[in-house]
Structure 1
Amino acid sequence: MSYDRSAPPVGLIIGERELLSASGGVFAHINPANGEHQADIPLAGPAEVNQAVACASQAFEVWRRMPGAQRALLLNRFADLISANAPEFIRLSALEGGTPITVGAGGPRLGEEWTRYYAGWADKIDGQVVSMPPADELIYTRPEPYGVIGIIITWNGPLISLGMKVAPALAAGNTVVIKPAEQTPFVSHLFARLALQAGIPAGVINVLPGSTEAAQALIGHPDVQKVTFTGGPVTARKILHQCADLLKPAVLELGGKSANIVFPDADIAAVAQMAAFWSVGLLSGQGCELPTRLLVHDSIYEQMVEAVAAVASHLPIGDPFDPNTIVGPVINQDACTRILGMVERARSSGAGRLVCGGERIGGDLATGYYLRPTVFADVDPASEISQQEVFGPVVVIQRFKDEAEAIALANSTGYGLGGYIQTNDLGRANRLAAALKTGYVHINGTRNIPACAPFGGIGLSGYGKEGGRPGLDEFIRLKTVSMPA
């Protein structure tokens, strides 16, 4: 397939209006694959946030009263359009974030899945009778939507984040104001336009690319009833400080340093492929739940290091629009500098043995933000590169001698988002799954973030759930009603 490489015009979407200029200034969007300017993105300021929240508040009175079956119908139409526009979402992901088209197909697939899953919940939200005759009172609960939800997402996998947050919020009867990262505005813009095309009323979904000032205005707006955020712990702390002053609830889906624990009875070749692709290949390592720490039993350690390095070294790197490319660029120059800084500190301090990678790629890719997939072995568990999220194509490998040491190593960071276990011993898998301090455990290659399953972390990985019934409940508050029996 031949892809158009021109960037689309993008504006703010408030109700059914599209604003091509705004009070927050302009963001010069750079294509991460070649370092070239490709679009000027208007940024919302407080004035546009006020307009969007007012629009969402007005739409809420219509949307909340719409029968659940009708909301379900509209959300399913929306899911149909996400699927039908998959090629355009894939194209936009390659343009805005450098996501290879071979990988970008996951965005619309998951966006459709999450939207359709929560469409199924829209007409099944019910309360509970908690006391009835012959008691003195009849007491029951009414599940009610919050109102306007402020949604702030980061730049990696924006369509997936939108599906995880917007679909359950709308199914529950809320309306939303979304602040996408200015680095990735194209996908969110198409998402909002398709919602209108599906018949979702104007104002139910509003999209405002914006700076930190816009995010602060959104969080602080008195008519925004709850905030949900995907990003890093540093920004999350700032959001929580602001929410705390307002006693405003929040859901935080943050970073991870997920351990991938490999025992001798696992399929070494298959695990090596998975370990390399899911850490330094997929999204160039820019994913919150990717297994970026590989913990390997002593008896197979050297064999696994060699196998992972061989796979990582041969992952095809290049143009995101090339169907042979697996590894694209990281998001921008700042990311390059930060990641290479962590690699250099690990190398110079002796925190680990650099097996492969650890450098920026030159030649035809020199103008883009390409980093060679990097493997560190014999890594000190207390080192920065073992303890802190790199968010780039870097995997660290450590050895363990028994289950107890594997558990201790896996639980040795402040993060707790995902964990991975590779073994054919069912008893061992269940013992470790119970012992890992993490929100999700994957055993023998199960897939990430299916819509039906609760997803979310502990510690530095945040709190609250996305997915399953718990993900719907995040957007519902209960009212208790009692009357004489």
Structure 2
Amino acid sequence: MGIERTVPAVHLHIGGQARAEGTGGMAEHVYPATGEVQGLVPLAGPADVAEAVEAAHAAFPAWRSWTPAERRGVLVRLAELIKADVAELGRLSVLDNGMTHRIGLHLASAMAGYTEYYAGWADKIEGRVTTAPAQRRELAYTIPEPYGVVGIILTWNGPLISVGMKVIPALAAGNTVVVKPSELTPYATEHLMRLVREAGIPDGVVNLVLGGPDAGEALVRHPLVQKVSFTGGPTTARKILASCAESLKPAVLELGGKSANLVFPDADLDRVTLINTSSVFETLAGQGCAIPSRLLVHESVYDEVAEKVIARVRSLRFGDPFDPTTNVSPVVTRAARDRILGMIDRARSQGAGRLLAGGGVPDGVPAGGYYVEPTVFGDVVPDSEIAQVEVFGPVLSLLRFSSEEEAVAIANSTSYGLAAYVNTRDIGRVNRLTSQLRAGGVYVNGAPPVVGYELPFGGVGISGYGREGGLEGLLEFVRTKAVAIA
């Protein structure tokens, strides 16, 4: 479609050195839209990870000694470079994991926004003077301090936005970082490292080591890593926490979700349909943690909403992710496609719901691509696998409810608690439900799950803990020291 499809050579970036090979060997990168190998990716082994951590540790004293205004200035410069290079970062994001070009550009722009936002916080991290007992004549105050080396494990479905939510606030707070992207998404972060150097961030402050589980484990376990920030699934998070527990190392965990969207009769049903189907099917083919994959609809408008959803699904278009008319991208790997199709087949065979649309592999997609039809199940059983387990694919479950109490009970019935959605014109109902829904964020009448860098994002339950975004996301990367002077 007129957009260049070449990919850059990929490196490990350790202490300012770009290395074309790692001790973990090489991996083939497969483009999900065609199933074809695009290039080779060097994988870090434990020795490479250790070098990266040591480089970050060595760079920490100098980086911490920079004045907050100096850190702000270099991060502002990085934000400017990212904004100027959004087109290239968006292009490479498509080649990373097959997302549509529109989504790739959006996520690159969002990373620029996070970078600019946290650059502005760099010189506003303040302690406070406390009221000490007058008879002791003490001066008491607090000092916010960086941790030191932070180990950051990025998700493959949105590595650039993850950089904005994790890496940038860690740097603004004065930490150095070792970043481990997934080997499935090497290209956009490779380009980003060039911008990091161009912005003037010193060698060793940001280190990047691509790799699989062995590299992640080595990063988490390294004794010089003072805190871990991870985005992924609960299964991997449990292993990370087990490793962190050995040294009582703190962690931020942004995990999965099975978010419910509650639709009441007074809602704008056309708007609900458009936003919900766009979120579940057009945003990375359902490979998003906070998508409203359970659509809970009041029984009085259930049939109307179901018809609108089916009509919308039938209008979606598959194809080349760079084609501006393509709505639905492939999923990330062949294994992911097979896993999603397996969940769909089990839902059908177990009677978990009525299949209303999709359910298989679409016709007319690029040969070898990892595509799954947008799939809708109606009248889904609330305690079935398809309603309880995160699919991480283009699958939507429709459920009926008859009262607020029933809707809340169904919404809160999973172990996840990342996001919840409410659609109603009744402000009293909004106030009631926001306090009852067990979720890290509640989004009303179409507000998207990541509403912007100014608000915190995170979950409860097996959706993790800690927050990213907003002031809360910055404070995850500082610890408070108390000082009292007699």
TM-score range, shorter chain: over 0.9
Match of 1:37 in 2: 37
Say which SS state the counterpart of residue 288 (structure 1) adopts: coil
Q: Distance in 1 between matches of 2:133 and 2:429?
A: 50
Give the secondary structure class of the aligned counterpart of 2:288: coil
Partner residue in 1 for 2:405: 404
Find the counterpart in structure 2 of residue 153 from structure 1: 154
- 1:429 positional shift: 1.1
CA contact (8 A) 1:277 1:312 kept: no
Alignment of structure 1 residues 277-316 onto 2, 5 Å: 277-316=278-317
Aligned residue number for residue 65 of structure 1? 65
Query: Any idea what the Cα deviations from partners look like across 1:290-309, whole Å, max 9, x if unmatched?
Result: 00000000000011011011
Contact 1:313 1:357 in 2 (8 A): no
Q: How big is each residue's C-alpha offset from its partner over 1:129-185, in whole Å with a ceiling of 9 and x where there is no partner?
A: 123462412211111000000000120011001100011101100010000011001
Q: Which residue identity is paired with 1:469?
A: L
Give runs of aligned pairs for residues 101-140 of structure 1, distance below 5 A.
101-132=101-132, 134-136=134-136, 137-140=138-141
Over the matched positions of the two proteins, sequence identity in percent amounts to 54
Identify the match of residue 469 of structure 1 among 466, 471, 478.
471
* Runs of 4 or more consecutive aligned structure 1 residues displaced over 3 Å after TM superposition: none
Question: SS of the residue aligned with 2:65?
Answer: coil
Residue pairs, 1:320-335, within 5 angstroms: 320-335=321-336
Distance in structure 1 (CA, Å) of the matches to 2:448 and 2:330: 24
* Aligned residue identity for 1:461: S
Question: Does 1:195 find its partner at 2:191?
Answer: no
Question: What's the secondary structure of 1:434's corresponding residue?
Answer: helix
- State the TM-score, normalized to the length of structure 2: 0.98
Q: Superposition pairs for residues 275-424 of structure 1, below 5 Å?
A: 275-424=276-425
Looking at structure 1, the residues matched to 207 and 355 of structure 2 have their Cα atoms a distance apart, in angstroms, of: 46
Partners of 2:441 and 2:449 within 8 A in 1: no
Q: How much has 1:480 moved relative to structure 2?
A: 1.0
Q: Deviation string for 1:446-474 (max 9, x for gaps)?
A: 13321110110000100001111111111
Is 1:478–2:480 an aligned residue pair?
Answer: yes
**CA deviation after TM superposition for structure 1 residue 15, in Å:** 2.3
Question: Alpha-carbon deviations, 1:249-299, whole Å to 9, x = none?
Answer: 000000000001111111111111111111122110000000000000000
CA distance in 1, matches of 2:193, 2:62: 18
SS of 1:415 mapped into structure 2: coil
Aligned AA (2:331): V
Distance 1:360 1:246 in 2: 46
- State how many pairs are aligned: 484
- What's the counterpart of residue 447 of structure 2? 446
Contact 2:455 2:469 in 1 (8 A): yes
- How far, CA to CA, are the matches of 2:313 and 2:168 in structure 1? 36
Helix, strand or coil for the counterpart of 1:39?
strand
> What SS is found at the alignment partner of 1:412?
coil
Quick one: distance in 2 between partners of 1:293 and 1:169?
34
Report the alpha carbon displacement of residue 2 of structure 1 after superposing the two structures with TM: 2.4
SS in 1 for 2:37: strand
Alpha-carbon distance in 2 for matches of 1:481, 1:272: 55
**In 2, distance between residues paired with 1:125 and 1:88?**
33
Which 5+ residue runs of structure 1 have no aligned equivalent?
Answer: none
Q: Does the aligned pair in 1 maintain the 2:419–2:449 contact within 8 Å?
A: no
CA displacement, residues 309-337 of structure 1 (integer Å, 9 cap, x when unaligned): 11112112110111111111000001001
Which amino acid counterpart does residue 481 of structure 1 have in structure 2? V
Query: Which AA in structure 2 matches 1:103?
Result: I
1:256 aligns with 257
